[in-house]
Amino acid sequence: MAETTEFELVSPARLLMSEPVEMVVVPGAEGDFGVLPRHAPMLSTVRPGVVDVYRGGVVDQRLFVAGGFAEVTEARCTILAEEAFPLADVSADDARARLQAAREDLDEAEGDMARSRAAQAVTVAEALVSAVGA
């Protein structure tokens, strides 16, 4: 049996995953990074994208994250995500609809704060559309 590391993915809504895995590939702000057992400790911001979870030498699960933070230790990888869900739960039509709504919100946004939030929602929706291949 391959050596494993503990992986936890937590969103404000719930704990999505807490299991031993062979490897996790995380969409870091400065590029994707893989986490294996005995990884050097690090902290990273997470950009909107897909977390690939490996078991048996292959991607076993794909999870979409809307951003957040990752903490890596020698024994575990924990992602605190702003929003997260299994990528399989989203259809291409749902992703395109989310992007359209986000773009409309950006067009209607008034004030710097509202425009900033709406622009971030567009970025997340674009990443989701890309992830589902829509």
Percent share of the chain, pLDDT over 90: 94
Please tell me the CATH superfamily of domain 5-87, with its number.
F0F1 ATP synthase delta/epsilon subunit, N-terminal (2.60.15.10)
Rg of the chain (C-alpha set): 16
Structure confidence at residue 134 (pLDDT): 56
Q: Are residues 51 and 27 in contact, defined by beta-carbon separation less than 8 angstroms?
A: yes
* Spatial CA neighbour of 47 closest among 25, 32, 63, 61: 32
Average pLDDT score, the chain: 94
pLDDT digits (tens, 9 = 90+) for 49-101: 999 999 998 999 999 999 999 999 999 999 999 999 999 999 999 999 999 99
**CA dist 34 → 39, 101, 113 (Å):** 9, 33, 34
CA distance 64 to 101: 19
Read off the DSSP letter of residue 56: T
pTM above 0.85, yes or no: yes
* Residue 117: CB atoms within 10 Å: 14
- Tell me the domain boundaries of the chain: 5-87, 90-132
Return the bridge partners of 32, or none: 27
